[in-house]
Structure formats: structure tokens, C-alpha cells
Structure 1
Amino acid sequence: MKKIEIGKQFISNHLDLFRCPICDQPFAEMTEFSLICPNGHGFDLSKKGTLYFLTHNSNNEYDAEMLSARHQILQAGLFDPIIKAISGQLSEQPETILDVGCGEGTPLAKLEKCRQDLDVAVGFDISKDGINLATQHGANAFFCVADLAHLPFNDHVFSTVVDLFSPSAYSEFNRVIKPHGKLIKIIPNSNYLHELRALLFGDNQPNSSYSNQRVYDLFFEHYPSATVNKLCYQFTIPTGLQQALMLMTPLHWGKNQNEDGKRLVDGLTSITVDVSILVNQFN
């Protein structure tokens, strides 16, 4: 089957997941390769089998070069222990997963392979380039371009929402998560990629250190009963992927970089991945 036909089949089978981002009405029908809401708003499937739900221009800092670098390093396994930890947080029952800010799709594709009992997997991102890359994994997941602040999904349709290093819209998460569902948010800790930061910025620069305390505190303001699991490990960088590691992070465009920093990155052999896995179980 062509990708557009696979996308049509997915939507036809799971029409109840989606609602119109213009009028917030559940979509009423699939006509040929278009989703139509009761008020006549239509959204066409792309040839890659994806949907474009944005109703406004987007500002996206992740360009094609950055996404390609991210694809290379994630395929090489940078986040594999994180994906395994996410899998361990899922229930033994079939899950309906939403991956927030899925980027080029590797984490969701790997999670799906790790947990083949997933019922439904949907990933979305504001980047069309990222979503186009995501369709190349051959995963059974469905991918779309959408706005985090105004999700094109019906109320209480996902058993788990996964937010891996992405911004959050907690009111929207609360709306789309099922009763007794789960929110899993992964945030980087201060030692995340610290070897790369040291090479690029040295000491006593604004980018020399990093804290995610505000994000951490905001999560617990919304979910005071949430739990925290910390995960820290060393990742051996495959030969030739040092520059890809640098390009996949916002660090590569940071101000006040060491003059020789980017050249020194080629000498990195391993990198620290240090994250907190925040989990809220809904009542």
C-alpha cells in the first residue's frame, strides 16, 4: 500500500481520535483522502500519509540539517535507555500513545518496536520537515503536523502522553488523557551532554551551565503527586557522528562559543545523558 492509503486506513479506523482545530468539533467523515468536520472544514492527507493541522504560520528552530543530525544520533541509540524506561512505565494493557513534539520520529518508532502490544501510536510536531522524516521509519505510528497549544484530538482519547524534551501545554494534556491515564515527561538534568557544553563554552559563560528547575517546578505545580525517576548513563559516540551530536542540540548556535570548540567536538568519544522522568498517574 502507498503511504497515503496507509494513512487513510489509520484515520478511518481511528476517526474518534481527531477533532477539527478550527471549530473543535469531532470529525464526521473521511472522504477520499480528506477529513471533514460537521462545519465543512477539511484537511487533506499528504502523499506521505500525514495530516497538516496548523491553521497559522509557525516559527520552528529545528531546520532540516538539525533534524537530519538528530535522526542519525538517535538511530545510533542515544536515547535507547530512555525509551526503555518509558516502556517500563506503560501498563500491561494495550496503550493509545501520543508523542508530543515527536520531531523526526525515532523515539516513537523505537518505543513501538519495544512494545509491540501498543494499540495506537500517534506523533505530532510543529515541524513539517520533522514529520516528513518520521514517515520513513516504516513504523505503524501515525504522524501529523499540529499545534501543541491547540491539539487536534478529542477529549480523553489517549491512555498515555509522552513528552520527551518538548514544551508542555498541561491544560491540553489534561484534556486529551483518559481517566486513569498517564503523563510521562522527560527533562534533561544539569549534567546532560555536559562534555559537549564544556568544549563549546568552557567556564563562566551563560551557556556553560544549565538548569531545568523552572520546568521541574512547574510540572509539580500541576501534578503535586507525580513521581520522579532519574536516569544517567554514558553513551559511546559512534565514529563520525560527533558533529551530528552537536548539530542535534540548540548548543551549536549558542553565543560566545570557544573558537576551537566545534573542532574539539571531533575528539569526543562518549557523552553523558542525564535526565529526570516525571510521571503523573491520573485518577
Structure 2
Amino acid sequence: MHKLACPKCHQTLQLEEKTYKCNQNHCYDIAKNQYINLLLNPDKSCNNPGDNKESLLCRKNYLNQGYYDVILNEVVSYIRHHYQPNMHILDLGCGEGYYTYRMKQELGDDCTFYGLDISKDGIQMATKYTKDIYWIVGNSKNLPIQDHSLDVITALFTVVNESEIKRCLKENGYMIHVTANNKHLVEFKELIYDEVKIKSDEHIRLPFETIKSYDFTKKIHLKNREDTLNLLKMTPHFYHIKKERRYVLDTLGEFDVTIDIRITVYKI
């Protein structure tokens, strides 16, 4: 049984034919592509929030080459070692759905997966991977999930909302938070910026009990110009390139780049 809840009143949603309804008679139709839009207008900052289609396509093309599977494997390994039957797992900020889809492949059909992103374009792309995941257009500040119903929340390179994480996780549930360290993609930063600044990560640490926290670093080799540009274009750095630095894009081909992340497991 799914754990979807109405974003307006947080009551349980029931499926009637192709429409989800709550006891307050709030209704949400399943889209033709088999996703559900649970993003309320007040939760939007613009008409089409989230990553743009170009960035999402670059992310999809890059991730499908397997370069970031080393990150995926760290997340899957932890879940597998703490596996319980019939787990409900939410992937926050799932974008075009690669990580969510691959987690389901690795962990099997015994787990119920939810992939949520504020980008409608991203969720539409995600449905192309599989229809066996609850693909949701929604806002992490107002999760359309029942109270204390999730075993695991994953958040890979995405903003999370502290109160919503606490509300949705079970008492013994946990969240896996993947965040970038200062040396992550430093080679791009050195090309783009006049000065590479060291930033504190204090603002992305969460006030929950830490079960495990460790740094993961690996140098990867991007095999061609297309993969290099796709990685750059799926990051905010691409949009921060000054006009006088745009020439660096013409120099990119094969490229060695550093993965430098922190993986933190929180218990609520």
C-alpha cells in the first residue's frame, strides 16, 4: 500500500480509477505518462520551477554513462546492509530519475519507491525509465507523504526541509544525505572562476542524530567532449561562467575530474 498523502490536508490518498482522492475530496489525476502532480500553486516560485529541460537532458545523458555509479553504490550499499522487508523509500530531488530507477534495480521489487522533484519536465523524463515507481511532481517543503510512513529518504545533491524530513520518517527511519565537498569538481572551478573559494558546509548540516558520516573521493576520467560538457551543464557552475571565460568551453575534450562528497546518514 502506498504512502501518498494530499498536499492540501495531508490525509491519505485513495486511488479511484485514474484519480487519487482524499476524504476532503481533493482530487489529483494520474497523468498519461503515469506520474502524479501534487505540486500546489502556492508551493511554486514560478510557472515552471526546477531545473530547465536542457540541464535535465545533460544530467540524463551523463548519468546514463555510469560515471556517478560510484556514488549510487555507496547509497545502495548502506540500504542493503540495513535492509528490512517492504521498505518505503523516497528519493528527494530525483530530477530525471536515474538514481531512483537504479536504486530500485539494485534493491528489488520488495521495496516501494517514490521519486519526487519540483520539475515537471524532470518527472516526465523519469517515467521513461519505469512505471513501477511513484513519480511525483512536488515540493520538498510540503511533501505529499503520510506522517511517519517512510523507512528511508535519500537526498543526493538536493536541498531538504528539516521539518518535513522529521514528519515523514518512521521512528526508526533514516535519511542518506549526499553533499558536495570543496574539492568536488574542482577542475571545473579552476577553469571558470578567478578564485576558487573555500566555503563552509555548516548551512547544509542537519540537526539530527548522525549515524554515520564519511567523505568519499575519487578521480574519474571523462572519455569525450560530450560527457565533459554534459557534466558541466548539469551543474550550477555552467551558468556562472563569465562572458570573458566562455572560451574555456571550446577547449574541453577528455577530462579528469574529482568526485569529492560527504555521505551522512541521519536518524530522526
TM-score by length of 2: 0.91
Stretches (4+) displaced over 4 A: none
Pick aligned residue for 1:164 from 137, 144, 156:
156
Indicate the residue corresponding to 2:262 in structure 1.
276
Aligned runs of 1:128-167 on 2, under 5 Å? 128-138=120-130, 140-167=132-159
Match of 2:39?
54
1:230 is the counterpart of 2:215: yes
Deviation per residue, 1:21-77 (Å, 9 max, x gap): 1122222x3222111111111000000110001111344351100000000111112
Change (3 A) 1:269 1:75: same
* Cα distance in structure 2, aligned partners of 1:108 and 1:40: 30
Q: What amino acid is aligned across from residue 227 of structure 2 in structure 1?
A: L
Match of residue 7 from structure 1: none
> How many percent identity over aligned positions?
26
* RMSD of aligned alpha carbons: 1.7
Give the match for residue 19 of structure 2: 34
Distance in 2 between residues matched to 1:250 and 1:281, nearest whole Å: 30
Pairing partner for 2:238 from 234, 252, 260 = 252
AA partner of residue 168 (structure 2):
V
Name 1:109's counterpart in structure 2: 101
- Name whichever of 239-248 and 178-187 sits farther off: 239-248
TM-score, length of structure 1 as denominator length: 0.86
How far 1:179 sits from its partner (Å)?
1.4
Residue 262 of structure 1, aligned match among 236, 249, 256: 249
Asked if 2 retains the 8 angstrom alpha-carbon contact of 1:99 and 1:108, the reply is yes
* CA-to-aligned-CA distance 1:1-39 (integer Å, 9 cap, x gap): xxxxxxxxxxxx42xx01111122222x32221111111
**Alignment partner, residue 61 of structure 2:** 72
Q: Is the 8 A contact 1:79 1:107 kept in 2?
A: no
CA contact (8 A) 2:21 2:28 kept: yes
**1:199-238 map, 5 Å:** 199-201=191-193, 203-204=194-195, 208-216=196-204, 218-219=205-206, 222-238=207-223
Structure 2 residue runs of 5 or longer lacking an equivalent are none
1:220-255 deviation line (CA, Å, top 9, x unaligned): xx1244421111112221323221111111111105
Distance 2:135 2:200 in 1: 28
CA 42–171 in structure 1, closer or farther in 2 if over 3 Å, else same: same
CA distance in 2 between partners of 1:153 and 1:259 (Å): 43
Structure 1: gaps spanning 5 or more residues = 1-12
Shift of 1:268: 4.0
Q: 1:85 aligns with which of 71, 74, 89?
A: 74
Aligned residues: 259
* In structure 2, distance between residues paired with 1:132 and 1:210: 36
Q: Is the CA contact (8 Å cut-off) linking 2:192 and 2:241 kept in structure 1?
A: no
Tell me the distance in 1 between the aligned counterparts of 2:110 and 2:218.
27
TM-superposed CA distance for 1:281, in Å, is 2.8
